[in-house]
Structure 1
Amino acid sequence: MIENTTDDREKLPVGLLRKVGTTTLTAGIAYVITSLVDKPNIAGFTLSVLIGGITLIVQFLNDFENRLQKVETHQRDHTQHVEDLVETRFHKLNEATELFRLVETSTMRPDEVTTLVRHSTLIGPTTPPLVQSLASAQIRRTSNLLRELSEKADAIYEGEDREWLLCLTEDSTVGIDAVSLMTVDSGSKGVFEGGGLWTSDLGQRYLDAQRQAVKRGVTVRRIMVLDQPTGEDDEELRHLSDLHRAAGIEARVLEPRAVPGTLRNALLDFIVFDGSLSYETTRASSVDHSAKAIIATTRLVMRPDRVRDRIRWFDDLWDSAREMP
């Protein structure tokens, strides 16, 4: 047995049924009224049909008007959306064009900037969230550094830096003048023991970068500021002297009593690169004086007046220092 369900039946639209019902009701009322005024039946029937037809046409016209208004409203909203979209796209295009023009006129290499942007776009939705966060943090860090460099403001790195130091050494073209405090460079048991700078990975890379700089014609000078007097036969000092001499570095030793009076209470561990930038480290305070020195902050000083002060300090200390044994 085959059962018919309501899904198999064709249903008339509700709106159409309402129109038919309204038309029929109006025509019936018109026919009743015409019958009450003693009109001939044929005339009453014709008049009721006419009124019903007019009612139906009015309903369709009303629906058409409503639909037309909806279409106009939708068209107006769509047009506004398209205009907003086009305006946004043109704004972004103008912004991109302006950025590209700035990149082209900048002293930075355009290919390096565009490569950075291109590589950043490779971090897609499928990249793990932690990797995305790391990439964003590096971009923010680089952006902040570029802003500080452009404003000639001090750039600060919390802790001991290695990237700035090695990059500046590798890219220097004129001279490198360094004041090295032995309290910062020495380990807990001396210059070459207990984690001293010159036996660390950073120290070895830094020394090699200076050796390459000397080969490029860069003058590298270093002043070793001792924390206590020492003799000519000091084994660590001779070893340090041989290390620098082999790298082509001009090095001198400055004993505490020879430090000019104006600098004794304000002596810094700093490096002036090409006479235009000072790289400075600050040691963290510690109650354990036998422990290795901890670098609290690394600072890039770019203000011309402060850089000139560092150059003057270096010249005064260089004149007061003696040759390495």
Structure 2
Amino acid sequence: MDGRTAGEVQGTAPFRGRHRSTALRKALVTAFVATGAFFLTLALTEDATRTWPWTASLVSGGVALIVQYLRDFEQRFETVDRRLAEICAAAELFSRVDGSVLRSEEVTRLFLGYTKVREQGGDIVQAFAERELRRLARTLEGLGGGSMDASGENHEWLIDLTDCVKMTLDATSTSVDREFWSSGPGQRYLTAQEKAVKRRGVAIRRLFVVREPDEVTPELTALCEDHRRHGIEARIAVRSLMESHTRVDDFIVFDGELCFETMPDLQSAPDGTRLRAEPEHVDDRVSQFTELWAAAEFVPEP
């Protein structure tokens, strides 16, 4: 034994195979070019001593060999240049991460976790991991651009944002999401809001919007009371009793910086979710909520 490990032997074997294959290819190409040049020069000249055919053969073969080596050198140089560019891009990326609010160790964990999945996971695990990574990339790109859309109701976004909010949460609730409050995600959302109020002192206001006074049912009043038990201020806004009867959408403003909006379909059912962080849009939502809240009715204790 020469002291090398099995991994070293396995790692060098493919390299040696590729090296032999490349050398054989160069030799065959050189021989083919040299032979072709010999017979072509022999056919085109009347040199009885065959000096010119041999000279042309040697020169052509040498040129062919040199060209092949130059081509290989160029390919290796391009590979090295590309890898250097990738290394520089990675270094710049991590330097930005180190200087950002996002902790660099979390990004490191992401890359290490993905690498581990690629090395040890099965096909379905790798496919799922890649799908999740693409989803995360789209989310971050969207937030960086100020807007992010998702199909259907994204309850995970809603609860995660509630866990992140620090100061205020102002929300409207229309008939689009009225049944949401009795669902499992709705109860989880209420629990997350109660924790935000009691543990972090977040001020939460919810405005239930209806079209006509007869829509202020005992069920809606009971829903407002349930919110108050969770530490949430609740009011009911009747659009027909207001000076302005403009349409009111379902939206939530987190800390006056980010809007979570529900987009209804033609049947007024939740069809999509949108995050908006553009300052002008957020300011418009804040102003709209402030006006609606001032015009709404306080629901008395039952």
TM over 0.5: yes
Query: In the TM superposition, what is the alpha-carbon distance from 1:242 to its structure 2 partner?
Result: 2.5
1:198 aligns with 2:175: no
Task: Output aligned runs, 1:237-256, within 5 Å.
Answer: 237-256=220-239
Task: Output aligned runs, 1:244-283, within 5 Å.
Answer: 244-261=227-244, 264-283=245-264
Query: In the TM superposition, what is the alpha-carbon distance from 1:60 to its structure 2 partner?
Result: 10
Unaligned residue ranges in structure 1 (runs of 5+) = 1-54, 187-195, 287-292
Go from structure 1 to structure 2 and tell me whether the alpha carbon gap of 1:231 and 1:121 turns closer, same or farther (over 3 Å shift). Answer: closer
- Equivalent position of 2:118 in the other structure: 124
TM-score (normalised: structure 2): 0.72
Distance 1:66 1:257 in 2: 93
RMSD: 3.1
Contact 1:260 1:320 in 2 (8 A): no
SS in 2 for 1:275: coil
Go from structure 1 to structure 2 and tell me whether the alpha carbon gap of 1:203 and 1:65 turns closer, same or farther (over 3 Å shift). Answer: same
1:225 aligns with 2:209: yes
Go from structure 1 to structure 2 and tell me whether the alpha carbon gap of 1:66 and 1:274 turns closer, same or farther (over 3 Å shift). Answer: same
SS in 2 for 1:124: helix
> Cα deviation per residue 1:115-141 (whole Å; 9 max; x = unaligned)?
222222234377555544443333223
> Cα deviation per residue 1:61-118 (whole Å; 9 max; x = unaligned)?
9998787666645544443343333222222221221122122122222112222222
- Equivalent position of 2:272 in the other structure: 297
One-letter identity of the residue aligned with 1:162:
H
Match 1:135 to one of 125, 129, 136 = 129
Unaligned residue ranges in structure 2 (runs of 5+) = 1-48
Residues paired across the two proteins, number: 252
> Cα deviation per residue 1:24-45 (whole Å; 9 max; x = unaligned)?
xxxxxxxxxxxxxxxxxxxxxx
Query: In the TM superposition, what is the alpha-carbon distance from 1:165 to its structure 2 partner?
Result: 0.8
Distance 1:273 1:74 in 2: 64
Match 1:173 to one of 142, 161, 166 = 166
One-letter identity of the residue aligned with 2:168:
G
Distance 1:231 1:99 in 2: 54
TM-score (normalised: structure 1): 0.68
Match 1:158 to one of 151, 164, 180 = 151
Go from structure 1 to structure 2 and tell me whether the alpha carbon gap of 1:312 and 1:320 turns closer, same or farther (over 3 Å shift). Answer: same
Distance 2:123 2:215 in 1: 58
Which protein is bigger by CA-based radius of gyration?
1
Query: In the TM superposition, what is the alpha-carbon distance from 1:231 to its structure 2 partner?
Result: 9.0
Alignment identity in percent?
34
Contact 2:177 2:270 in 1 (8 A): no
SS in 2 for 1:122: helix
Query: In the TM superposition, what is the alpha-carbon distance from 1:265 to its structure 2 partner?
Result: 3.0
Go from structure 1 to structure 2 and tell me whether the alpha carbon gap of 1:63 and 1:171 turns closer, same or farther (over 3 Å shift). Answer: same
Match 1:97 to one of 86, 91, 95 = 91
SS in 1 for 2:116: coil
One-letter identity of the residue aligned with 1:254:
A
Contact 2:209 2:248 in 1 (8 A): no
- Equivalent position of 1:309 in the other structure: 284
Higher helix share: 2
Query: In the TM superposition, what is the alpha-carbon distance from 1:259 to its structure 2 partner?
Result: 3.2
Contact 1:272 1:311 in 2 (8 A): yes
One-letter identity of the residue aligned with 2:177:
D
One-letter identity of the residue aligned with 2:209:
V
Contact 1:177 1:221 in 2 (8 A): yes
Distance 2:126 2:67 in 1: 43
Go from structure 1 to structure 2 and tell me whether the alpha carbon gap of 1:86 and 1:282 turns closer, same or farther (over 3 Å shift). Answer: closer
Contact 1:269 1:281 in 2 (8 A): yes
